[in-house]
Amino acid sequence: MIWEETFGGEVLTASISPDGSHMAFGTKGNGALYFYDINGTRLWDHPTGCPVFGSAVSENGEYVVQGAEKVRVFTREGAHDWQWDSGFFAYSVAVSPDGKYIVVGSDNKKVYLLERGVGEIWQNETVDDVRAVSISGDSEYIAAGAGNNVYLFARNGTLLWENPTAKGISGVALSPDGRLVASGSQDYRVHLYDRASGDLLWEHKTGNRVHSVSVANDGTIATGAEDRWLSLFSEAGEVIWREKMTAKVSGVALSEDGTSLAVATGSGGNRGFLYSLGVSVVEEPVPTAIIETISTTETPQTRVTEEPRGEQVAAAELEEIREGIPLPALVAGGGVLVAVGAALVLLGRRRK
């Protein structure tokens, strides 16, 4: 773990830039958007007066997108760049690496594609409020999760496919290279799809509601669940590492190359983490691999962040819960060495 931050309110969202250099976190209550560099230095924060449901960061932290009662864009230096208002809450946001395109999932059952500084390009209606959105690294594909369905759109707004395969989609993610689409749902499931065909590659049943998913270019999938489990899967569907956190895992976000992982824990934790992941792939993972563990992680750096207009909350020591597998971990048979550390991501609550 590189660093850990304790906030004065529940954290609803965490995001990371494609290159892993910057992270953003949004909180509940009075609400604020916080922006950090890879060393854990808080560069700026912007109070909102309402919950921040979604956040997204472009390459090298050049632009930071906030999803709340409005969509707001800030520069890396903290200046207000642009905003857009649909008249509804933005439950989820995503931004292209170059900062040109912004995807918005709203509580009016619609997905929007925006051009930053210009406005709406298109909108598409879904079956329910849109809890999660994602965009590929080349901006050619947009994924969305609403109700029981996962949607894939082309950049021109054409619906490419729709899969009604789970109940209550709460997380969705495209791999940056656009090969894979992952989803997490309220009926305890993680799904991985082939982007080109829409075919389901595998399904994994977890022990509780899955709030967030993220996918790296190498096919590594991170998930966060209500029962406090933070998990990593291989592209083949093998669980390669799990750790039980001190509170529900409300959000996860992997950098493009899978070397950094931002993690958010919700009510009861109110923490953000940044893990450094050293992944060395020797051979293709085998789904039946036996998992063994080695060593433990170093004691993390812990800080306290003051919630705007709130009282400062002392950061409790990180509880070492090792019901799962500590990091670093050696995955026998899969030949994957994972050395990890933590930061914070995303949970939305309806406000309208």
| pLDDT tens-place string over residues 70-96 | 999 999 999 999 999 999 999 999 999
pLDDT band at 277, cuts 50/70/90? Answer: confident
Residue at 81 is within a domain = yes
Cα gap 328→165, rounded to integer Å: 34
Q: Give pLDDT, residue 29.
A: 83
295 CB burial (10 A radius; 0-12, 13-18, 19+): exposed
* Mean pLDDT on 314-336: 35
Residue at 48 is within a domain = yes
Q: Sign of the C-alpha dihedral, residues 305, 2, 330, 278? A: positive
- pLDDT tens sequence across 237-262: 999 999 999 999 999 999 999 999 99
Residue at 349 is within a domain = no
Q: Give pLDDT, residue 285.
A: 41
How many domains are there within the chain?
Answer: 1
* Mean pLDDT on 23-29: 92
pLDDT band at 216, cuts 50/70/90? Answer: very high
pLDDT band at 38, cuts 50/70/90? Answer: very high
Q: Give the lowest-confidence range in 155-159, 196-200, 312-316.
A: 312-316
> Which strands form 22-27's sheet, in the order they lie side by side?
11-16, 22-27, 32-37, 42-47
Residue at 24 is within a domain = yes
Residue at 347 is within a domain = no
Residue at 344 is within a domain = no
Residue at 352 is within a domain = no
- Shortest CA distance to 130 belongs to which of 98, 192, 166, 88? 88
pLDDT band at 8, cuts 50/70/90? Answer: confident
Q: Is 305 helix (H, G, I), strand (E, B) or coil?
A: coil
Residue 295: pLDDT above 70?
no
Across the chain, mean pLDDT equals 83
Is this prediction's pTM over 0.75?
yes
Cα gap 75→128, rounded to integer Å: 32
pLDDT band at 316, cuts 50/70/90? Answer: very low
Residue at 346 is within a domain = no
Cα gap 33→218, rounded to integer Å: 30
Q: Which domain holds residue 329?
A: 3-339
More confident residue, 270 or 337: 270
CATH of the domain at 120: 2.130.10.10
More confident residue, 287 or 250: 250
Q: Give pLDDT, residue 275.
A: 93
The answer to whether residues 184 and 223 touch, using CB atoms and an 8 Å cutoff, is yes
